[in-house]
């Protein structure tokens, strides 16, 4: 009898665990069924991209997106919907950007390259800047030949590392040339910079994005060119004694604009003062529709709210759904959200972001302490039917990172398949037509499942 009793005591926790997993599995299946049958994310994305389009912070289109976001969240039926004011930078591209080869081996030539000014860069005069090209592979070569840079246009032909299965690693590696390349070259007297686009696509679309000037050096114009043109320009520079290029851009900063984070809440039933944040950023670059970056994250966020409401779920914690302002060139919305939360003495417990596109979900990246990481991994089997069971260390996102600094909470970022993301990222091809409805909805399924589990069990 004693042996039987011991077996029962040992078995009870496993029985309870199995029962809990069964309940959770059943509820997550309800989430999936509802989203895949009734989800509105794709339709909302169509509205955002086709009715509004590119939404650079400070622009009239971004103001329209704020109004649309608030109206749509109101219609979903959150307990509370409101705007949180923040001032955002207002960079404008101006007229069309132009980069052209003007001479080869001192003979005049006219060959336009497909180009975009890099975001936050300052423009040229209407005549542009014309100078000889000095082509380098990387910063090491720039330093090696620094005495030959003065008066020239530096061309960084730095490639994505093709062996990284996660293309985000390649992007993080290459991104420093777009962000810091201009000032690194200006330090040695360069008069302009051309950057190979941050992509491994097979087309010739140039990719814009944000850069930073170092105030210690001249603020020279900077542009990105498409990959085919980059290959051709590099080859021409290797074969020729001299290649001259003209860069003509018109970027400038206008005074900061008033903008808003758009926030909706479901009030917690047991711990309303403990807050879970889920969000994406409402702004995009101006040259596309911002469908994957980050229209997908915006409608993912809305879809999580919709499905929880549709299933009658009553959260224990207060869940905030945030459409952040100005992620692309300043992160002012993220900073404001964390700053006000800290100032009000709020208690934040978890934050989830979607800002890696609307492709097939693979899992989540987590920024969490070891004990929390172990707890999260116990949930992996619940995500396997929906494709989101790959959990990796390291994750979050630009818009929720300030919450980590303010509250030292676990962060997570949805990680869709990354192989196609940088084909469209910051390029004219980031449009609604390049988003697949089912892939988009499955991302929302996995996000809603994670929010449900965190809310139910805590971390």
Q: How many CB atoms lie within 10 A of CB 320?
A: 24
CA distance 168 to 175: 10
CA distance 323 to 81: 11
Q: Which of 265, 327, 328, 401 is catalytic?
A: 327
Distances (CA, A) of 307 to 38, 278, 445: 9, 14, 9
219 Cβ neighbours under 8 A, 6+ residues apart: 121, 122, 182, 186, 213
Report how many helices (DSSP H) and strands (DSSP E) the chain contains, helices first: 13, 16
Query: Among this protein's residues, is 327 annotated catalytic?
Result: yes
**First and final CA of the chain: distance in angstroms?**
39
The tokens 């995009």 sit on which residue?
A: 284
Distances (CA, A) of 183 to 139, 211, 219, 284, 442: 12, 10, 7, 25, 42
Residue 458, Cα to own-chain centre: how many angstroms? 26
CA distance 104 to 127: 19
Which residue numbers are catalytic? 327
């Amino acid at each position: 009898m004693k042996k039987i009793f011991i077996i029962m005591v040992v078995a009870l926790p496993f029985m309870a665990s199995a029962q809990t997993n069964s309940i959770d599995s059943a509820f997550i299946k309800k989430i999936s069924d509802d989203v895949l049958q009734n989800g509105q994310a794709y339709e909302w994305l169509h509205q955002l991209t086709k009715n509004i389009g590119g939404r650079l912070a400070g622009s009239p289109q971004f103001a329209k997106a704020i109004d649309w976001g608030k109206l749509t969240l109101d219609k979903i039926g959150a307990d509370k919907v409101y705007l949180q004011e923040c001032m955002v930078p207002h960079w404008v591209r101006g007229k069309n950007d132009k980069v052209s080869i003007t001479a080869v081996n001192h003979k005049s030539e006219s060959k336009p390259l497909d180009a975009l000014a890099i975001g936050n860069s300052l423009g040229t005069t209407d005549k542009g800047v014309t100078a000889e090209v000095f082509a380098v592979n990387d910063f090491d070569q720039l330093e090696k030949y620094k005495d030959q840079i003065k008066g020239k246009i530096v061309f960084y032909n730095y490639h994505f590392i093709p062996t990284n299965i996660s293309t985000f690693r390649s992007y993080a590696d290459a991104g420093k040339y777009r962000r810091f390349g201009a000032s690194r070259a200006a330090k040695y007297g360069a008069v302009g910079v051309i950057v190979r686009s941050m992509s491994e696509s097979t087309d010739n679309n140039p990719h814009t994005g944000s850069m930073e000037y170092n105030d210690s050096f001249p603020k020279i114009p900077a542009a990105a060119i498409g990959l085919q043109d980059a290959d051709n320009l590099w080859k021409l520079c290797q074969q020729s004694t001299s290649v001259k290029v003209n860069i003509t851009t018109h970027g400038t900063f206008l005074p900061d604009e008033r903008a808003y984070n758009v926030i909706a809440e479901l009030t917690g039933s047991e711990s309303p003062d403990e807050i879970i944040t889920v969000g994406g950023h409402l702004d995009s670059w101006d040259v596309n529709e911002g469908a994957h970056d980050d229209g997908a994250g915006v409608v993912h966020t809305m879809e999580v709210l919709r499905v929880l409401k549709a299933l009658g779920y009553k959260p224990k914690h207060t869940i905030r759904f945030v459409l952040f302002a100005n992620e692309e060139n300043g992160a002012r919305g993220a900073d404001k959200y964390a700053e006000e939360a800290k100032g009000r003495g709020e208690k934040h417990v978890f934050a989830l972001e979607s800002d890696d596109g609307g492709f097939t979900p693979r899992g989540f990246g987590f920024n969490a302490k070891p004990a929390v990481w172990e707890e999260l991994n116990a949930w992996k089997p619940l995500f396997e039917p929906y494709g989101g069971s790959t959990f990796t260390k390291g994750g979050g996102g630009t818009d929720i990172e300030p919450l980590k600094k303010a509250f030292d909470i676990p962060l997570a970022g949805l990680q869709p398949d990354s192989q196609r993301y940088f084909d469209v990222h910051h390029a004219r091809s980031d449009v609604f037509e390049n988003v697949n409805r089912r892939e988009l909805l499955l991302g929302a399924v996995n996000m809603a499942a994670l929010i449900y589990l965190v809310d139910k069990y805590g971390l």
